[in-house]
A = this chain, B = another copy of it.
Amino acid sequence: MTWRVACIITVGSEITRGLIQDTNSNWLASRLNSLGVTVKRIISVPDDKSEIAWALKSCLEVSDIIVVTGGLGFTADDITLEAAAEALGVKLVFSSEALEMIKSRVRGEVTYQVKAAYIPEGSKPLYNRTGVSPGVHLVLSSKHIFFLPGVPSEMRTIFEDHVKPLLASTTYYSRTLLVRTRYSTETEVYRLLEPLKYKYTWVYFKTHAKTPVEVVVVIQANSLIELEERTRSLISDLEKTILIESLEYT
C-alpha cells in the first residue's frame, strides 16, 4: 500500500489581499480526500514569481501530487506557468494541441488568448469545456503536477474530466460518518475514542465542541468491499465505546 500525498497551491493576489474567499482549496481538499489522497499542505500565494516558485518547491519535497489553481489566464499578472517552468527548470513551449483546444473554445479569431498555449515542456494540455484556458498536466520525477484555472467552474470540470480519472485508477475509497453523541464535553468523547484511534489507523476522528458533542469519522480503504467491511466493524466498535444519539452517512 503506497499512501498518496498531495499539496494544493492557490495562486492570486486577490486571495492574499483578502478580496476573495478561496473556495478552490476546500473543494479540492474534499475531492482529493474522497479519492484517498492525503492533503498535507494548502498554500495560497500572490501573483508573484518567487512565491509561486517557493510554494512549488516546498510541495515537491513532501508530496507526489500537486494541484495548482489560478494564474492561467491572459493578462500579464497570470504568471503561474512561467513561474513554474522557471522554478522546475523546464522551458515554456508552444503547444499546438493547446492552441487547438483554445480555438475550439473561442468565437472568432484567437489573439491574446494564444498566451495560454505556452505550457511547460513535456506537459500535456487538459481540455477545458467550461472556459478557454486549458489545464496542464506535468509529470516530473514521477510526481504529478496539475495546473488548473482559478475560475471555480473551470477548475472543477477539468478536475472531474481529467485529474480524477488519473488519480482514481490507483487510489483509495473513503466515507464520512457524522456521529451525534450523548456527551456534553469534547474531552470526554476524545478520551473514550483514544483506543479506537490506535486500533483503526485508517480512520480519522474529529470531535466537535457542540452540545451534545458530534464526531466526524472518515474511513479509508483500498476497495469498495474493504470500505464496507471497515465501516461495519468500526460502527460495531463505536457502539460499544460511546453513547451514540444518531449516526449519519454524510
Contacts and interface: CB of A to CB of B under 8 A. Distances in A.
A176 B216 contact: no
A23 interface: yes
Contact of A16 (B13, B15, B29, B46): B29
Contacts of A40: 16, 45-46, 51
Contact of A26 (B22, B33, B187): B22
Given A13-B206, A17-B33, A43 B42 contact: yes
Given A58-B58, A112-B187, A18 B43 contact: no
Contacts of A190: 75-77
Given A40-B46, A41-B44, A186-B74, A19 B209 contact: no
Nearest to A208: B14
A74 B39 CA distance: 24
Contact of A29 (B18, B28, B42): B18
Total identical chains: 2
A15 B29 contact: yes
Nearest to A190: B75
A218 interface: yes
Select the residue from A18, A27, A28 with max chain B CB neighbours within 10 A. A18
A16 B6 CA distance: 10
Select the residue from A17, A21, A29, A58 with max chain B CB neighbours within 10 A. A17
A200 interface: no
A181 interface: no
Given A15-B26, A19-B30, A21-B23, 20 more contacts: A13-B204, A15-B29, A16-B41, A18-B39, A19-B218, A20-B26, A21-B21, A22-B26, A25-B44, A39-B46, A40-B51, A41-B45, A41-B51, A42-B43, A42-B44, A74-B186, A75-B186, A76-B190, A77-B190, A112-B187
